[in-house]
Amino acid sequence: MIKNSNIAKREIDSLHQEFKTYGKNAREWIQKCKMLLPKIQKQEVWKKKGFTSIYEYARVLAGMSTHAVDDALWVMKKLEARPHLKKVAKKKGLNAVRPVLTIATEKDEKEWAKKAQKMSQNTLKMYVKNCREKGLVHEEKQSEECSRVNPGQKNQKKTKTSIYMKLDVQTIERLKKIKGEKDWDELLNMMIDVMEGEGGAGARERAEAMRSARAIGTARSKDVPAPVNTGKRYIPAKIKRHVIKKTGGCCAYPGCTKPYDILHHTKRFAIDSTHDSDTLKPLCKGHERIAHEGLIENEESSSGDAEKWSIKMQADVLNPKYQVDEVVGQYYMPM
């Protein structure tokens, strides 16, 4: 019985690994097909080979949808004058550079390419969003929907209406904190749902939990656990509970409402081997990776308050933390 069970497990593992390998290879080959589409279109290869359109050509030969073709043509057009980003796209795929396509210029695309090479797509997307919020980058005037290359189809522009509201500064700041990673439409719809009672109970409970967490975080408790200096990466349970409680289990980065994934040492554990509730911050995966790229300002503020954190464009390469992170980063593979 045990022998048969072991054989079945090996067979399952073997099938899984085989399928996973084929899937990975399929993604890689589809990316290569996408990179060729501009030349296919320019030289009308599809017409010369008897197909009615580039869409039929891509669908029959590579299983690509109409949207995938349009999207690939748009991305490749944006990369024409961006050689460094194009090089990253060839290695990691078009999605790897997508978050910076509307903000990278000929002058700074090399720096953006370095970030795209090191970060996962989701982390890069989060970083760009934080940069926009701080006013460090600016979008092109034309929206992505309007500028996309879409041969054979009419461009469809999203209908949006501008409204003007006169609000005091405190209200604006509070709205920005609640907004976090969401866009304004998403925030307002969420608030409307709460007011109309559509799933409102869960949203109200979450909002109340976050308010309670902020209150706990601002009041210094007498029960703050003492720092522990140890050679082990295991974080003592008391310190862990205290740190998580301060943010209600959410990411500590200002404005981020995602659940935390990792307890981050603002003073790197590899340097001082200390677990300290003042320098341990619960972070989502994206902000944890951004921190390890050295791209968070005031990471070690004197008060240990993450509310003083903000995004920055360049890392301090002379900082010992950055050098440690670079070594550790060699073993980190973006997902």
Taking 90 as the threshold, does the pLDDT of residue 324 lie above it?
Answer: no
Q: DSSP 3-state assignment of 62? A: helix
- The contacts of residue 223 (CB under 8 Å, 6+ apart) are 242
Q: Which residue has the tokens 């790897």?
A: 96
The pLDDT score that the predictor gives to residue 152 is 45
Taking 50 as the threshold, does the pLDDT of residue 153 lie above it?
Answer: no
Model pLDDT for residues 244-290, shown as the tens digit of each residue: 988 889 999 988 889 999 999 998 888 888 899 888 999 999 999 99
Share the mean pLDDT of the chain: 81
Q: Give the residue-averaged pLDDT of 87-103.
A: 93
- The contacts of residue 57 (CB under 8 Å, 6+ apart) are 40, 45, 46, 49, 51
Query: Between vectors from CA 220 to CA 219 and to CA 226, what angle results, nearest 5°?
Result: 155
Q: Give the residue-averaged pLDDT of 97-115.
A: 93
The pLDDT score that the predictor gives to residue 199 is 45
Model pLDDT for residues 166-194, shown as the tens digit of each residue: 777 777 777 777 766 566 776 777 677 65
Q: How far apart are the C-alpha atoms of 78 and 284, rounded to whole Å?
A: 30
Q: Which residue has the tokens 């677990």?
A: 275
Q: Which residue has the tokens 């085989």?
A: 18
Q: How far apart are the C-alpha atoms of 70 and 180, rounded to whole Å?
A: 31
Percent of the chain surpassing pLDDT 90: 45
Taking 60 as the threshold, does the pLDDT of residue 214 lie above it?
Answer: no
The pLDDT score that the predictor gives to residue 246 is 86
Model pLDDT for residues 27-54, shown as the tens digit of each residue: 899 999 999 999 999 999 999 999 999 9
The pLDDT score that the predictor gives to residue 55 is 95
More confident residue, 13 or 167: 13
Q: How far apart are the C-alpha atoms of 180 and 185, rounded to whole Å?
A: 12
More confident residue, 197 or 311: 311
DSSP 259: B
The pLDDT score that the predictor gives to residue 21 is 92
User: Which residues share a beta bridge with 275?
Assistant: 228
- Top mean pLDDT of 75-84, 176-185, 318-327 is at 75-84
